[in-house]
Amino acid sequence: MTSAIVGLGVTEVGRVFGRTAPQYAADAVRAAVVDAGLTLDHVDGLLFGNGRSGGLTPLLQRDLGLVNLTLLSEVGAFGASAIAMVQYASLAIEAGMASVVVCAWGDAPLREGTSAGASYQREMLAGFLSVAAAAGVTGANARYALAAQRHMQHYGTTSEQLGAVAVAQRAWAAGNPLAQHRLPITIEDHQASRMIVEPLHLLDCCLVSNGGVAVVVTSTERARDLRRPPAFVWGWAQAHPGTLPERGSRFGLETGAAVAGPAAMRKAGITTSDVDVCEIYDCYSYTVVVTLEDYGFCKKGEGGAFAASGALAPGGSLPTNTGGGQLSSFYLWGMTPLSEAVVQVRGDGGDRQALRHDVVLVSGNGGVLDYHATLVLGREPR
Amino acid sequence: MSTTSDPSDHTPLSSAQRFPTATAAARRDDESAPFFDAAGRGELVVRRCAQCRHLRAPEVRGCPRCYDGAFTWSAVSGRATLVSWAVAHERQPDGETLTKPFALVELEEGPWITAPLVDVAIDTVAAGDALHVRFVRLGGGEAIPSFTREVSPAGD
Per residue in A153-198, pLDDT (tens digit) is 999 999 999 999 999 999 999 999 999 999 999 999 999 999 999 9
- How close does chain A come to B152, measured CA to CA in Å? 23
Look at A153 and B104 and tell me if their CB atoms are within 8 Å: no
Position B58 pLDDT exceeds 80? yes
Position B6 pLDDT exceeds 50? no
Question: A100-107 and A45-50: which strand pairing?
Answer: parallel
* CA B132 – CA B119 distance, rounded (Å): 12
Instruction: Look at residue B14 in the predicted model and tell me its pLDDT.
Output: 41
* pLDDT level of residue B152 (50, 70, 90 thresholds): low
Residues of B with Cβ-Cβ distance to A246 under 8 angstroms: 56-57, 64, 106, 110-112
Residue B16 domain-assigned (yes or no): no
Instruction: Look at residue A306 in the predicted model and tell me its pLDDT.
Output: 98
Give me the mean pLDDT over the B11-30 stretch: 59
* Cβ neighbours of B27 (radius 10 Å): 19
- Give tens-digit pLDDT for A48-76: 999 999 999 999 999 999 999 999 999 99
Instruction: Look at residue A168 in the predicted model and tell me its pLDDT.
Output: 98
Instruction: Look at residue A379 in the predicted model and tell me its pLDDT.
Output: 98
Alpha helices in A174-239 (DSSP H): 187-192, 220-223
Global ipTM: 0.93
Active site residue A281: yes
Residues of A with Cβ-Cβ distance to B18 under 8 angstroms: 115, 118
Q: How many domains does chain B have?
A: 1
* CA A213 – CA A330 distance, rounded (Å): 11
- Give tens-digit pLDDT for A30-48: 999 999 999 999 999 999 9
* CA B81 – CA A330 distance, rounded (Å): 39
* Cβ neighbours of A42 (radius 10 Å): 16
* CA A260 – CA A277 distance, rounded (Å): 17
Residue B7 domain-assigned (yes or no): no
Kindly name the residue from A281, A284, A286, A371 that is annotated as catalytic: A281
Sign of the CA dihedral running A173, A178, A180, A182 = positive
Q: Which of A131, A194, A196 sits opposite B144 (nearest CB)?
A: A131
Give me the mean pLDDT over the B10-21 stretch: 41
* pLDDT level of residue A112 (50, 70, 90 thresholds): confident
* CA B100 – CA B117 distance, rounded (Å): 8
Task: Say how many residues make up chain A.
Answer: 382
Residues of A with Cβ-Cβ distance to B66 under 8 angstroms: none
* pLDDT level of residue B93 (50, 70, 90 thresholds): confident
Look at A246 and B112 and tell me if their CB atoms are within 8 Å: yes
- How close does chain A come to B113, measured CA to CA in Å? 7
Residue B136 domain-assigned (yes or no): yes
Residue B117 domain-assigned (yes or no): yes
A·B CB contacts under 8 A: 173
Residues of B with Cβ-Cβ distance to A198 under 8 angstroms: 86-87, 89, 99, 122
Look at A136 and B110 and tell me if their CB atoms are within 8 Å: no
Look at B127 and A153 and tell me if their CB atoms are within 8 Å: yes
Instruction: Look at residue A254 in the predicted model and tell me its pLDDT.
Output: 97
User: pTM, whole model, 2 decimals?
Assistant: 0.94
CATH number, domain at B117? Answer: 2.40.50
Candidates A17, A122, A246, A251, partner chain B, best to mutate (most B CBs within 10 A): A246
- How close does chain B come to A17, measured CA to CA in Å? 14
Domain that holds residue B144: 22-149
- Give tens-digit pLDDT for B114-151: 999 999 999 999 999 999 999 999 888 899 999 999 76
Instruction: Look at residue B35 in the predicted model and tell me its pLDDT.
Output: 98
Position A232 pLDDT exceeds 60? yes
Instruction: Look at residue A122 in the predicted model and tell me its pLDDT.
Output: 59
* CA B122 – CA B102 distance, rounded (Å): 10
Residues of B with Cβ-Cβ distance to A114 under 8 angstroms: 11, 13, 17
Give me the mean pLDDT over the A293-322 stretch: 98
Domains contained in chain A, CATH given: 3-110+208-222 (3.40.47.10), 139-207+234-382 (3.40.47.10)
Give the chain B residue nearest A189 (alpha carbons).
B2
Q: Which of A127, A183, A246 sits opposite B5 (nearest CB)?
A: A183
Give me the mean pLDDT over the B28-56 stretch: 97
Of A251, A287, A258, nearest to A78 by C-alpha is A287
Question: B79-91 and B130-137: which strand pairing?
Answer: antiparallel
B43 burial (CB, 10 Å; 0-12 / 13-18 / 19+) is: middle
Kindly name the residue from A88, A144, A295, A331 that is annotated as catalytic: A331
* pLDDT level of residue B25 (50, 70, 90 thresholds): confident
Q: Which residues contact A174 (CB under 8 A, 6 or more apart)?
A: A182, A183, A184, A351, A352
Residue B11 domain-assigned (yes or no): no
* CA B139 – CA A138 distance, rounded (Å): 14
Instruction: Look at residue B19 in the predicted model and tell me its pLDDT.
Output: 40
Percent pLDDT > 90 in chain A is 93
Residue B113 domain-assigned (yes or no): yes
Residue B107 domain-assigned (yes or no): yes
Give the chain A residue nearest B109 (alpha carbons).
A247
- The type of residue at B94 is D
Instruction: Look at residue A199 in the predicted model and tell me its pLDDT.
Output: 98
Is B81 an interface residue toward A (CB < 8 Å)?
no
- How close does chain A come to B46, measured CA to CA in Å? 11
Position A268 pLDDT exceeds 50? yes
Instruction: Look at residue A104 in the predicted model and tell me its pLDDT.
Output: 98
Residues of A with Cβ-Cβ distance to B13 under 8 angstroms: 113-115, 118
Of A267, A261, A245, A333, nearest to A300 by C-alpha is A261
* CA A151 – CA A235 distance, rounded (Å): 29
* pLDDT level of residue A279 (50, 70, 90 thresholds): very high
Is B89 an interface residue toward A (CB < 8 Å)?
yes
Sign of the CA dihedral running A340, A344, A350, A352 = positive
* CA A168 – CA B106 distance, rounded (Å): 36
* CA B125 – CA B122 distance, rounded (Å): 6
Residue B57 domain-assigned (yes or no): yes
* pLDDT level of residue B2 (50, 70, 90 thresholds): very low
Q: What SS3 state is found at A48?
A: strand
Position B153 pLDDT exceeds 90? no
- How close does chain A come to B109, measured CA to CA in Å? 9
Is B100 an interface residue toward A (CB < 8 Å)?
yes
Active site residue A295: no
Give the chain B residue nearest A151 (alpha carbons).
B84
Position B8 pLDDT exceeds 70? no
Instruction: Look at residue B154 in the predicted model and tell me its pLDDT.
Output: 52
A296 burial (CB, 10 Å; 0-12 / 13-18 / 19+) is: middle
Contact A367, A79 (CB under 8 A): yes
When mean pLDDT is compared across A78-82, A93-97, A125-129, the lowest value belongs to: A125-129
Look at B89 and A195 and tell me if their CB atoms are within 8 Å: yes
Contact A251, A147 (CB under 8 A): yes
Q: What SS3 state is found at A204?
A: helix
Kindly report the three-state secondary structure assignment for every residue of B25-61: CCCCCCCCHHHHHHHHCCCCEEEEECCCCCEECCCCC
Look at B24 and A134 and tell me if their CB atoms are within 8 Å: yes
Residues of A with Cβ-Cβ distance to B102 under 8 angstroms: 135-137, 142
**CA R_g for chain B:** 19
Is B38 an interface residue toward A (CB < 8 Å)?
no
Instruction: Look at residue B60 in the predicted model and tell me its pLDDT.
Output: 96
**CA R_g for chain A:** 19
Q: How many CA atoms lie within 13 A of B110 on its CB side?
A: 11
